[in-house]
């Protein structure tokens, strides 16, 4: 089974900071990776799909990159609404199960 | 627009059963693989099960295999999850989600407690 490892688990940052979250796969997954934002009591919100495609309506300060086994989510200038938990997800047409990273909580510094 | 609405959650005693439903709209339901994902309180996301577009194949996480059953009724645009032999560790918000162009519902809370 493919394992997804996210780092860091917690990140303290200030408004305006550039923030980067990393997700590593235990084997190559091509570009089959999504990123979600989740706020307390809410469903996950899709930000990025296919590693680097921005979901419609998501601010352009969010970007994704990577392929194979290493991926990053970058927030170019952190805004107050961005304090939340972020998850990476491996999904694929070729492997049925979904696998999630452990999550990264972005906190106010 | 795509809408997924879960229902059927509640408080149930250990060992009992519950059936969750997910009503889909805004897309051609019978052409999409569908998933259930859960999230225990304060924890991360855990994939639970999936069913192919036509119901021909189903897959389960080891943690629920033999206890949970995923099904669908394409005539009613509805996805189901039958939860049997419930345990306290099954307490979670259960989300239904669409494969392909990823979309999620808002979730339904299942609490297993005596």
Distance separating alpha carbons of residues A36 and A84, to the nearest angstrom: 10
Decide if A91 touches B, using CB distance below 8 A: yes
Distance CA B110, CA B90 (A): 8
- Closest chain B C-alpha to A45 CA, distance in angstroms: 8
Return the pLDDT at B113: 96
Averaged pLDDT of chain B: 96
Calculate how close chain B gets to A18, using CA atoms only, in Å.
24
B50 contacts chain A (CB < 8 A): yes
For the record, the structure tokens of B113 come out as 């407690």
pLDDT at position A92: 81
Quote the minimal CA–CA distance from A17 to chain B in Å: 25
As a whole number of angstroms, the distance between CA A35 and CA A88 comes to: 5
Torsion B60-A66-A104-B100 (CA) sign:
negative
- Closest partner residue to B47 among A34, A43, A99, by Cβ? A99
In chain B, what percentage of residues exceed pLDDT 70?
A: 100
Helix (H) or strand (E) holding A73: strand A70-75
For the residues B10-16, what does the mean pLDDT come to?
A: 97
B10: closest CA among B80, B113, B85, B84? B113
Are A35 and A15 a contacting pair, CB within 8 Å?
no
**Quick one: pLDDT at residue A1?**
84
Q: Give the pLDDT score at A97.
A: 85
Q: Is B53 on the interface with A (CB under 8 A)?
A: no
User: From the candidates B5, B32, B43, B47, which should be mutated to test the interface with A, based on the most A CB atoms within 10 A?
Assistant: B47
Q: Is B38 helix (H, G, I), strand (E, B) or coil?
A: strand
Model pLDDT, residue A52: 98
Structure tokens at B8: 């059927």
Listed in sequence order, the residues at least 6 apart from A41 whose beta carbon sits closer than 8 Å to its beta carbon are none
| Among the listed residues B8, B1, B12, B3, the one whose alpha carbon sits nearest the alpha carbon of residue B77 | B3
Which residues 6+ apart lie within 8 Å of A54 measured at CB?
A: A47, A48, A60, A62, A63, A64
Q: What is the mean pLDDT of residues B84-113?
A: 96
Considering only alpha carbons, which residue of chain A is nearest residue B6? A43
B21 has pLDDT over 90: yes
Which residue positions in chain A have pLDDT lower than 70?
94
DSSP track, chain B: --EEEEE--EEE-TT--EEEEEEEESS-GGGS-EEEEEE-TTS-EEEEEEE-TTSS-EEE-TTTTTTEEEEEETTTTEEEEEE-S--GGG-EEEEEEETTTTEE---EEEEE--
Q: Write down the pLDDT at residue A90.
A: 95
Q: Do B61 and A97 touch (CB under 8 A)?
A: yes
Mean pLDDT along residues B68-74: 98
Residue B8: the pLDDT is 97
pLDDT digits (tens, 9 = 90+) for B50-67: 999 999 999 999 999 999
């Amino acid at each position: 089974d493919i394992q997804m490892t996210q780092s860091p688990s917690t990140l303290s940052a200030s408004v305006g900071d550039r923030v980067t979250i990393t997700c590593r796969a235990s084997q190559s997954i091509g570009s089959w990776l999504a990123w979600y934002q989740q706020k307390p009591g809410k469903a996950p919100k899709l930000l990025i799909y296919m590693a680097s495609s921005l979901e419609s309506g998501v601010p352009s300060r969010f970007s994704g990159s990577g392929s194979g086994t290493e991926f990053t989510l970058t927030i170019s200038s952190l805004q107050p609404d961005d304090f939340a938990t972020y998850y990476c997800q491996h999904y694929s047409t070729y492997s049925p199960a979904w696998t999630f990273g452990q999550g990264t909580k972005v906190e106010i510094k | 627009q795509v809408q997924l609405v879960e229902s059927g959650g509640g408080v149930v005693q250990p060992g009992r059963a519950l059936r969750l439903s997910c009503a889909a709209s805004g897309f051609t339901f019978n052409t999409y693989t569908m998933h259930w994902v859960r999230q225990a309180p304060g924890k991360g996301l855990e994939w639970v099960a999936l069913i192919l577009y036509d119901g021909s194949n189903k897959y389960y996480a080891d943690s629920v295999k033999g206890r949970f059953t995923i099904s669908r009724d394409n005539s009613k645009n509805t996805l189901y999850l039958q939860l049997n032999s419930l345990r306290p560790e099954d307490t979670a918000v259960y989300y239904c989600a669409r494969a392909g162009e990823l979309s999620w519902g808002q979730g339904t809370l299942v609490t297993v407690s005596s």
